[in-house]
Amino acid sequence: MDASRSFTVTTPRITFGPGSLGLVGDIARRLGMRRPLLVTDPHLAALPPVATVRRALEEAGLVVTLFDGVEVEPTDRSFEAAIRFAADGGFDGFVSVGGGSAMDTAKVADLYSSWPDSFLAYVNAPIGEGRNVPGPLKPHIACPTTCGTGSECTGIAVFDLLAMKAKTGIMSHRLVPHHAVVDPEVTASLPRTALACTALDTVCHALEAWTCRPVGERDLPPEPDLRPMTQGANPWSDLLALEPMRLVAGNLEAALADPPDMAARGRLLWAATLAGASFGNAGCHVPHALSYPVSGMVRDYRPPDYPPGPPLVPHGMAVILNAPPVYRLMGADAGPRLLAAAEALGADVRGVPEAGAGDLLADRLVALMRAAGVPNGLEAIGFSPVDVAALTEGALPQRRLLDNAPVEIDAGVLDGLYRAAMRYW
Ligand SMILES: [Fe+2]
């Protein structure tokens, strides 16, 4: 029997709704936690979501230790600091509060304190050894505070390996949090740019899961524990892909308005959760691969209304700025899927031939970028055509993502995509 077209669905339990952060104590106790490590970043440590979670854990009788050393855009250095802290403390569970950085740091601290090994052992090959996680981890409750990463639903942890200046990650179904607690009230304090970038990251997650290579078209092992979670598009990931696009397109402007529509912000958070469950079971592709060198090679760009800090291209911004040319390129072969996506994002698809689907979708993405107020292409954040060779060299090692694309991607294609992403309007 040929099982190469089988697929496996992995999700956490999900609790969604206003006030749900107050339930974390009870959830943690029932998961068997007595001495959890609360993982967050130094900025969030002083904000209400962390205080709410800490209070809930303490009221449930748990002894809480705080680790607030998470770095935005984590590195092997910041991961290793969290691993040491977790290994020394003898914790019996993890509760993360924050964006993808905090949740990913908790996943990795959980992994290496449960199954100690050299740091590169579980890191994706060829950069790391790509070894399988030997068994279950300690329970992890993930509480997202942004609307984009979807990390609460995935078994993926992404970081910069400083020595190689490369973005890579660790992937295993064992890393999927045991329980995602998603409380729309956390979006009240999200600054406008962060909200816009994470919502556009959600769109990209859903679009890439919807348009990646279908399951069974790559030479992957059929055994669920050996097959990467980024197994390709499948009926489950398809089911969860179009709705997040509809939700973001229909709610982004109201969520960004002043004063914001809080119900609209809640719908963006739900969209992020759905998209996380979609790409967490399918994988992303080219826009994410193109984004990593853009974030890594930032010179002096600082996004408006972010906390003071070093130059930074937010992840969602780096991804969406690279997305439109990818869909123009795919247009000819993926017509029906691209038309469905364009329609979900609010485009009028009546009378549009399949051959025009890629352009229609790309134009719709650019319209969303303008509505969200993100910069006009890579030039607007400090890049120029002179940088294209270095950007291409940086994206080429992202084989896990590039191989998940429905079209062949080589250096020449990457070069053309970066040039097309310089300026949009
Ligand atoms: Fe992303």
Cα 201 to averaged position of ligand 1 atoms, centre (Å): 5
Q: How many CA atoms does the CB half-sphere of 270 hold within 13 Å?
A: 16
Q: Tell me how far apart the alpha carbons of residues 78 and 111 are, in angstroms, rounded to a whole number.
A: 15
Same domain, 219 and 81: no
In a domain, 2, yes or no: no
Same domain, 218 and 308: yes
Same domain, 301 and 405: yes
Do 91 and 81 form a contact (C-beta atoms < 8 A)? no
Cα 25 to averaged position of ligand 1 atoms, centre (Å): 29
- Does the predicted model carry a pTM greater than 0.85? yes
Q: For the range 367-370, what are the long-range contacts, defined as Cβ-Cβ under 8 Å and sequence gap of 24 or more?
A: 368/200, 368/203, 368/248, 368/249, 368/252, 368/320, 369/200, 369/320, 369/321, 369/424, 370/425
Q: ω into residue 184 within 30 of 0, thus cis?
A: no
In a domain, 159, yes or no: yes
Cα distances (angstroms) measured from residue 279 to each of 103, 204, 209, 274, 408? 16, 10, 5, 9, 20
Query: Can you read off the two tokens belonging to residue 379?
Result: 């030039």
Same domain, 212 and 169: no
Do 225 and 305 form a contact (C-beta atoms < 8 A)? no
Cα 118 to averaged position of ligand 1 atoms, centre (Å): 27
Query: Can you read off the two tokens belonging to residue 284?
Result: 């992303």
Do 202 and 116 form a contact (C-beta atoms < 8 A)? no
Question: Last residue of a domain, which of 186, 220, 254?
Answer: 186
Same domain, 181 and 197: no
Count Cβ atoms below 10 Å from residue 279 Cβ, excluding itself.
Answer: 32
In a domain, 1, yes or no: no
Question: Last residue of a domain, which of 186, 205, 225?
Answer: 186
Same domain, 145 and 253: no
At residue 138, φ and ψ (nearest 5 deg) are -70, 155
pLDDT value, residue 1: 64
**391 sits in which H/E element:** helix 388-395
Same domain, 97 and 182: yes
pLDDT value, residue 78: 95
In a domain, 425, yes or no: no
Counted domains in the chain:
2
Q: In degrees, to the nearest 5, what angle opens at C-alpha 195 toward C-alphas 304 and 176?
A: 125
Same domain, 152 and 58: yes
Do 192 and 303 form a contact (C-beta atoms < 8 A)? no
Ligand 1 (single-atom ion) residues, CB below 5 Å: 201
**169 sits in which H/E element:** strand 166-171
Q: Can you give the residue range of the structural domain that contains 363?
A: 191-420
pLDDT value, residue 372: 95
87 phi-psi bin (left φ>0, alpha ψ -120 to 50, beta other): alpha
Cα 395 to averaged position of ligand 1 atoms, centre (Å): 15
Cα 350 to averaged position of ligand 1 atoms, centre (Å): 30
In a domain, 118, yes or no: yes
Same domain, 140 and 66: yes
Same domain, 213 and 94: no
At residue 180, φ and ψ (nearest 5 deg) are -100, 125
Cα 412 to averaged position of ligand 1 atoms, centre (Å): 24
Q: Is 107 helix (H, G, I), strand (E, B) or coil?
A: helix
- Which residue positions in the chain have pLDDT lower than 50? none
In a domain, 6, yes or no: no
Q: Tell me how far apart the alpha carbons of residues 81 and 86 are, in angstroms, rounded to a whole number.
A: 9
Q: Helix axis angle, 262-279 relative to 192-211, nearest 10°?
A: 40
Same domain, 181 and 201: no
Do 96 and 102 form a contact (C-beta atoms < 8 A)? yes
pLDDT in tens, 104-132: 999 999 999 999 999 999 998 888 999 99
Cα 320 to averaged position of ligand 1 atoms, centre (Å): 9
Same domain, 289 and 167: no
β-partners of residue 94 are 37, 140
pLDDT in tens, 374-407: 999 999 999 999 999 999 999 998 888 999 999 9
CATH of the domain at 379: 1.20.1090.10
CATH of the domain at 33: 3.40.50.1970
**197 sits in which H/E element:** helix 192-211
